[in-house]
Structure 1
Amino acid sequence: MEGYNKERQNCDSRSPDRINFQITEFCRTSEGKAIMSASRPVSVHNPHLDAMTEDILYHFSLGTGTHDLPAMFGDVKFVCVGGSSTRMKSFIEYIAAELNMQDPNSDYPNICAGTDRYVMYKVGPVLSVSHGMGVPSIAIMLHELIKLLHHARCTDVTIMRIGTSGGIGVEPGTVVVTKQALNDMLLPKFEQVILGQTVERSTDLDQSLAQELLQCGNELKQFPTVVGNTMCTMDFYEGQARLDGAFCYYTEADKQAYLNKVRDAGVCNIEMEATVFAAMCKLSGIRAAVVCVTLLDRLKGDQLTSSHEVLVGFQEHPQILVGHFIKKQLKAKAAGN
C-alpha cells in the first residue's frame, strides 16, 4: 500500500477528498512522459481476475474459456473505436484497402456476432470496435476491451477514438485531435461513483501521439486538423447548451455566454466519451488519442444544416487521418525505425 499511496499522492494531489481505493494509477513524470517499460503491456488492476477460472466478456460474446484470445488478437497493435457500428465496419473496410489486406472472399465478419451490443472487426494488426453513445456505453466496452487485450498478451497498443463532434469556433469538417479531455465543468478529470463515493481520475492523453496525428493532418492537406481541448458531457441537449431539446430553461444569451467560456478554456469541440476514454486508457498504460471531426460550429447554431452527402464526407476525415498514421507506423516498423 505504501507504493500505492505514493502514486495516489502524485496523481491526485488536487483532490483531497478522494477515497483510498486500491487502484494503481498509471502516473507520469513531471515532464509528462509515460512511465512504462520498453515493451508496453496492457495493464489491468484487478486482483480478483487472478482467482477466476474463466473470464467471460459478456458484451463481446467472447471469453477465455471459449476462445483462444492470444491466437485471435495477440498481434493487435492498433485499436480504433467509434460510436457507430456502421462506421466501424466502414473503417475496417477502409483500412484493409489502405494496408492492401483486402480479402475478396470475406465480408469482414463481426467477431461479436453473438451479441447486439457492440461490433468488432479485425484486419491484420488493426482492431475496429463500436462503443455506442455516451460515457456509460463506452466504459462498459473499454472494461472488456482492456481485459481482452490483456488476456491476448498484446503489447505496444495504440487506441484511437474516431468520431463526430460539435465544433467550438472551428469550421465544420475540421478534425480535432484532443489535447486535454475536460468534463462539463471544464476540469481535466473523470468522476465516477464507486461504493457510494466519488473517485476522480486524470484525463491526460499522450501528447506526443497528438502531435504525430497533427503532423499526419499537415501531410495529408485534405482538411483542417488542429490540436485542442475537448469537452465531454453526459447529455447531448441541455448538457451541451442546446436550445432545441424537449426542455430548455435558459436563453440564447445564456447559451452564448457559456459557449464563449468553453471556447476561452481552449475547447475546440464537444462530445460525450473523451473523459472516460482518456481515464481508462491511462490506467491501463495504453497510448491513446481522440480524433473527432466537427459537424457544425455550435457558436452559430444547434442543428445540422449541411447536406447528407457533405456530412458523410466529414465523417470520413478521422478515418483518413488515422489510416495515414497507421500506415506510417507500420512502414517505419518495417524499415526498422
Structure 2
Amino acid sequence: MAGHSEDPNADQQYHLEVGPADIADTVLLPGNPERIDKIVAHWDEYEEQASHREYRTATGTYEETPISVTSTGIGGPSAAIAVEELARVGADTFIRVGSCGALQEEMAVGDLVITTGGVRQEGTSDEYVREDYPASADYEVVCALVAAAERLGYDYHTGVTMSADAFYPGQGRPGFEGFEAAGSTELVDELRDANVKNIEMEASAIMTIASIYGLRAGAVCSVYANRETGEFRTEGESRSAETASLATHLLAKMDAVKREVGADRWHAGLSLE
C-alpha cells in the first residue's frame, strides 16, 4: 500500500491511515478508541485496520452487513478529519456513537438519545458554512436508529442535541477555581427551556459536514448524566453500540428496498424486511 499522504486521492489517508479496501459504506464514530472494543463485541466478526493518534479503525460484519468503526477523539476538529478522510475512501454514512448529558428531567441515566438536529455551538462547522446553516440528521439514519432501539427494547428519546467545544464552561460547568464564562451559568436552563435534549461534543459537526457533502449522518448517545437531577453514572454504553450496529443493518435493508422499487429515498410506506 502506498505511503500516507495529504492528497485526497491517495490510497491511504494521512491521519486515519486507511484506504478504500479498509472501510465499509457505513462507519460508526465513537470518540473514545477504547469504545471500539465494546462496539465490535456485538458484531459477527471484525478485523482491526489501523490505529494512529486518536483514530482507531476496525471493519467487520453485523448480521452479515459490512460495517466499520473509527474513533474520532474528543471534539469537532478531530471528528471532522475523520469524516473527511473516511468519505475520501468511500464511506457515505456516519453514525456518531457516544455519551452525553441529558437536559430534561424525565431522561434517565442509561437512556438513549437519537439526534434529529443540532445546535452548532462547536466552531468546526463554522469553518465549512455560514452559522445559520442547520445541523440536520439524515432522515433515513434517524428512522433506522429509532427502529433499532424499538426492536432492541431500549428506552430512547429523539430531538435536538447541542454540540459544544468545551467540556467545562462550554457546557455550563465551572472551570478551574470556579471560573464562569459569560453566559455559562444560564446555558443549561436556556437549553432545557428550548426543549434541547442533550449536550455532547461532536454530533453537529459530523451532521453538518455530511449534509454539505450529500452524505448521511446521525447520532445515538447514551445518557451518562442528567444535568437537571444531578445523577451521573457511566451506563448504557453497550446499548448505543448495539443500536447503531443494528441501525447499520437496517440502513442496508433500506438501500436494498430503494433499489428494488427504484426510489431515491426510503420512507415509511416502504418495508424494512
Q: Same fold (TM over 0.5)?
A: yes
Are 1:89 and 1:121, in contact at CA under 8 Å, matched by a contact in 2? no
Root mean square deviation, CA, Å: 3.1
Q: Kindly report which structure 2 residues correspond to 1:309-328, keeping only aligned pairs within 5 A, or say none.
A: 311=234, 313-328=235-250
CA contact (8 A) 1:190 1:202 kept: no
Matched, 1:215 2:215: no
Distance 2:147 2:67 in 1: 21
Following the alignment from structure 2 to structure 1, what is the Cα–Cα distance between the partners of residues 191 and 251? Answer: 34
In structure 1, what is the equivalent of residue 78 of structure 2? 137
Alignment of 1:1-337 (within 5 A): 54=10, 56-62=12-18, 69=20, 71-73=21-23, 76-96=24-44, 102=45, 108-113=46-51, 115-124=52-61, 125-149=66-90, 157-169=92-104, 170-184=107-121, 190-192=125-127, 199-200=130-131, 201-221=133-153, 223-243=154-174, 245-250=175-180, 255=185, 257-301=186-230, 304=232, 306=233, 311=234, 313-330=235-252
CA–CA separation in structure 2 for the residues paired with 1:272 and 1:190: 12
* Distance in 2 between residues matched to 1:208 and 1:330, nearest whole Å: 11
Instruction: Indicate the SS of the match to 1:162.
Output: strand
The aligned amino acid for 2:160 is: N
CA separation of 1:62/1:320 partners in 2, compared to 1, >3 Å: closer, same or farther? closer
Q: Which runs of 4+ in 1 moved over 4 A?
A: 329-337
- Please identify the structure whose Cα radius of gyration is greater: 1
1:324 is matched by which residue type in structure 2?
L
Deviation at 1:77, TM superposition (A): 3.0
Deviation of the 1:269 alpha carbon = 0.6
Give the whole-Å Cα distance in 1 for the aligned partners of 2:97 and 2:82. 15
Gaps in structure 2 of 5+ consecutive residues:
1-5, 261-272
TM-score (norm 2): 0.78
Q: What is the alpha-carbon distance in structure 2 between the residues aligned to residue 49 and residue 292 of structure 1?
A: 33
Mark the CA change 1:60 to 1:190 in structure 2 (over 3 Å): closer, same or farther.
Answer: closer
1:121 aligns to what SS in structure 2?
strand
Letter aligned with residue 61 of structure 1: E
SS in 2 for 1:144: helix
Distance across 2 between alignment mates of 1:216 and 1:249: 42
TM-score by length of 1: 0.64
Superposed displacement of residue 248, structure 1? 3.2
Local SS of the residue matching 2:126 = strand
Output the CA distance in 1 between the equivalents of 2:242 and 2:42: 8
User: How far off is 1:333 after superposition?
Assistant: 6.8
- Tell me by how many angstroms 1:90 deviates: 2.4
> Across the two proteins, how many residue pairs are aligned to each other?
246
Q: Distance in 1 between matches of 2:136 and 2:162?
A: 13
CA distance in structure 2 between the partners assigned to 1:248 and 1:166 by the alignment: 20
Q: CA deviation at 1:326?
A: 3.0
Long gaps (5+) in structure 1: 1-47, 64-68, 97-101, 103-107
Please give the secondary structure, in 1, of the residue aligned with 2:42.
helix
CA distance in 2 between partners of 1:56 and 1:160 (Å): 22
Shift, 1:334, TM fit:
7.5
Question: What is the distance in 2 between the residues matched to 1:56 and 1:332?
Answer: 30
Q: Does structure 2 retain, via aligned residues, the 8 Å contact 1:111–1:121? A: yes
Tell me the secondary structure at the aligned position of residue 217 of structure 2: strand
Could you give the per-residue CA deviations for residues 293-313 of structure 1, whole angstroms, max 9, x where no partner exists? 110111233x83x3xxxx2x4
Identity within the alignment, %: 24
